[in-house]
Amino acid sequence: MRRLIGFWLLLGVPYSLLAQAPAKPSHMDVGVISHEATGGTLTANNPRPLMSAITAINEEYGWTVDFEDPPYRSNFDLIDDTAPQWRAEHPNAKGVTRVSGGLFKSSFPEPSTISDNAEEQVLQKLVSDYNATGNPGRFAIRKEEEGRYAVVGVARKDATGKDEPVEVLLDTPISMTEQRRTAKATLQAIVDAISAKTGVKVYLGTIGLSSDPLHDLELEIGGTNVPARTLLLQVINQASNSQYFRGILIWRLLFNADDNAYALRLNSATIRDTDATGRPVVRLLERK
Amino acid sequence: MKRSSVFLFGLFLVLLNGPSARSQGCATTLSPHFSVDNSVARDGTTIYTAVSMQGYASVAQGPGCNMSTATHHVGAENKLNNIDHWTYSANGCPTCYFSATNNEQIIGVPGIVYPWNWDGIAICSIVGTFSGIGGGGSLPGCKAPAKETTVDVGFYPASFRERFEMTLSDTNKDTFDGATVKEVTASPGSNTCWWSTLGLAQHPGVTGSSWPIGSVNGTPNANQWGYDSIGWNLVDLDTIVQGGPTHGITFPCVITIHQEMQIQCNGSTTYTKYRTNDITITVDRNPNSEEVCRDLTGDGDCGIPEGFAYLTDDSGFEVARVFSSIDTGHRRGSPQD
* pLDDT digit string, tens, across residues B105-150: 999 998 899 999 999 999 999 889 988 989 998 999 999 999 999 9
Closest Cβ opposite residue A206 in set B188, B196, B233 = B233
Share of chain B above pLDDT 90, in %: 67
- The SS3 of residue A100 is coil
pLDDT at A241 over 60: yes
For A214-224, the pLDDT digits (tens) are: 987 999 999 99
pLDDT at A30: 79
Lowest-confidence pick of A8-12, A209-213, A227-231:
A8-12
Indicate the pLDDT class of residue B327, thresholds 50, 70 and 90.
low
Q: What is the mean pLDDT of residues B197-218?
A: 92
Give the residue-averaged pLDDT of B168-192: 96
Cβ pair B207:A265 closer than 8 A:
no
Neighboring chain B residues of A98 at a CB cutoff of 8 Å: 196-197
> How far apart (Å, rounded) are the C-alpha atoms in residues B330 and B336?
7
* ipTM of the complex, rounded to two decimals: 0.85
CB pair distance less than 8 Å for A277 and B136: yes
B248 interaction partners in chain A (CB closer than 8 Å): 83-86
- In the structure, what pLDDT confidence band is assigned to residue B158 with cuts at 50, 70 and 90? confident
**How far out from the chain centre does Cα B178 lie?**
26
Q: Cα–chain-centroid distance for residue B217?
A: 27
Among residues B22, B253, B247, the alpha carbon closest in space to that of B126 is found at B22
Indicate the pLDDT class of residue B328, thresholds 50, 70 and 90: low
pLDDT at res. B337: 36
Q: What are the residues whose beta carbons fall under 8 Å from the beta carbon of B143, sequence distance 6 or more?
A: B44, B45, B110, B174, B176, B179, B263, B265, B266
Sorting pLDDT into bands at 50, 70 and 90, what band is A277? low
CB contact under 8 A, B279 and A27: no
What's the whole-number average pLDDT of chain A? 89
Please tell me whether residue B102 adopts helix, strand or coil conformation: strand
Q: Is the pLDDT of residue A279 over 50?
A: yes
Residue A162: pLDDT over 70? yes
pLDDT above 80: residue B282: yes
Q: Is the pLDDT of residue A81 over 60?
A: yes
Query: ∠ at Cα B140 (B134, B143), nearest 5°?
Result: 130
Which of A184, A212, A282 is closest, CB to CB, to B205? A282
Mean pLDDT of B81-97: 96
Asked if residue B287 has a cis previous peptide bond (ω within 30° of 0), the answer is: yes
- Binned at pLDDT 50, 70 and 90, residue B335 comes out as very low
pLDDT confidence of residue A14: 39
Confidence of residue B25 (pLDDT cuts 50, 70, 90): low
| A5, pLDDT greater than 50 | no
Taking CA–CA distances from A200, the nearest residue in chain B reads: B317
Listed range (A185-199, A230-244, B72-86) with the worst mean pLDDT: A230-244
Q: Looking at the complex, report in whole angstroms how far the Cα of residue B20 sits from the nearest Cα belonging to chain A.
A: 41
Non-local (6+) Cβ contacts of A173 within 8 A are A197, A225, A226, A227, A228
Nearest CA to A255 among A194, A184, A188, A182?
Answer: A194
Chain B residues with CB inside 8 Å of A270's CB?
Answer: 185, 205
Q: Which residues of A touch B319 (CB under 8 A)?
A: none
Residue A19 above 50 pLDDT?
no
pLDDT 10s digits, B211-228: 999 999 889 999 999 999
d(CA B46, CA B187): 26
Looking at every residue in chain B, the average pLDDT score rounds to 85
Report whether pLDDT(B82) > 90.
yes
Q: What are phi and psi of A79, to 5 degrees?
A: -135, 160
Q: Kindly state the percentage of chain A with pLDDT values over 90.
A: 77
Interface with B, mutate which of A206, A249, A259, A265 (most B CBs under 10 A): A206
Statement: residue B23 has pLDDT above 50: no
- What secondary structure, in 3-state letters, does A203-258 show? EEEEECCCCCCCCCCEEEEEEEEEEHHHHHHHHHHHHCCCCCECECEEEEEEEECC
Average of pLDDT values for A29-43?
90
Mean pLDDT, range A85-97, rounded to an integer: 92
Is the model's pLDDT at A12 over the cut of 60?
no
* Identity of the residue in B199, B204, B211 whose CB atom sits nearest the CB atom of A209: B204
- pTM confidence score: 0.84
Closest by Cβ to B209, choosing from A83, A244, A276:
A244
Q: How confident is residue B67, by pLDDT bands cut at 50, 70 and 90? A: confident
Cβ contact, residue pair B137, A204, below 8 Å: no
